[in-house]
Homo-oligomer: A and B are copies of this chain.
Amino acid sequence: MQAVISIDIGGTSTKLATVDQVSNVLDEMVFATQSYQDEDAYFDRLFLAVSDLIARRKEDQILGIGIGAPCGIPNEGVIYQAANLPFSERVEIVRRFEEVFAIPTFLTKDSYAAALGEGVIGAAQNMSDYIVITLGTGLGSALVANQQLIIGSNGQAGELGHTTSVPGGRACRCGKRGCLETYVSASGIKRTLFELLANSNRESFFRKKSFDEVSAKDIFLQAQNGDELALKAFELTGKLLGEKLADLVALTEPEAIVINGGLASSGTLLIKPVQEHLEKNLLRFYQGKIKILI
């Protein structure tokens, strides 16, 4: 059988899969991204994982290796200034792979990979104009228009997470203030929850928890239990995302906006306020026409 190896390098985990030509996953592997001393130790672990996957399917022909990573620049094969990864400023990842494996290797930004995937086998099949938002530790995005991914003049387009949501607002790891990602992401909703804890007098499960021990998943679980501050945190997160998406619709008028990633699995808790505030802020001629898909 012919297959490819897909690699998703995330701030938390690195996920690998062997995939056949009709996108069936034949094999999978995952390891923590952050538990390595340095870049070289990380790559030793990554190459070992790829070797394992290849060895486990000896009968298959591996046609290529595809990598998605934050700050991956498609045409250069380089990961550049990835704040969430334990890497130096410029990592020539495609070159490193091709030195170890005699297999053609391709790199793209993680959000671009997500957008291409949604188009080929996901929620955006047969759409010519759509947007993909990935809600993980950060907020990734990719815009597709005229059936083509917008990668920009240097392969670094699609940074919706670093557009301004609240002027002069929260400090972002990029050095700016008020970036959407500091509000709408797994880390953003936690910051919102702790702001609510500070500003309100309401009882909450989270009064007894430290910042470091709370995860977005905890907030989701407590919101389902009816914790008022957790519910309010989802409401505020959805509001800011909906408002931002209304501006994005005015720029590229997509047929749909696909939201994926961990926080998207919160379902209606997040999506209801997103849809409400999207519609409220759309110009009249876009109203009722933009699909939000999970």
Contacts and interface: CB of A to CB of B under 8 A. Distances in A.
The copy count of this chain in the complex is 2
A243 B164 contact: yes
Interface size band for A = 35 or more
Interface string A133-152: 00000000101011010111
Interface stretch (A54-62, A155-163, A220-228): A155-163
Contacts of A174: 283-284
Of A175, A252, A284, most buried by chain B (CB within 10 Å of CB) is A252
Nearest to A164: B247
B156 A285 contact: yes
A252 B143 contact: yes
Nearest to A149: B146
A217 interface: no
Interface in A231-286: 243, 247-248, 250-255, 281, 283-286
20 contacts: A81-B285, A128-B153, A129-B150, A145-B157, A148-B148, A151-B253, A152-B253, A153-B253, A154-B253, A155-B253, A156-B253, A156-B286, A157-B251, A159-B250, A163-B247, A166-B167, A167-B243, A174-B284, A176-B281, A176-B283
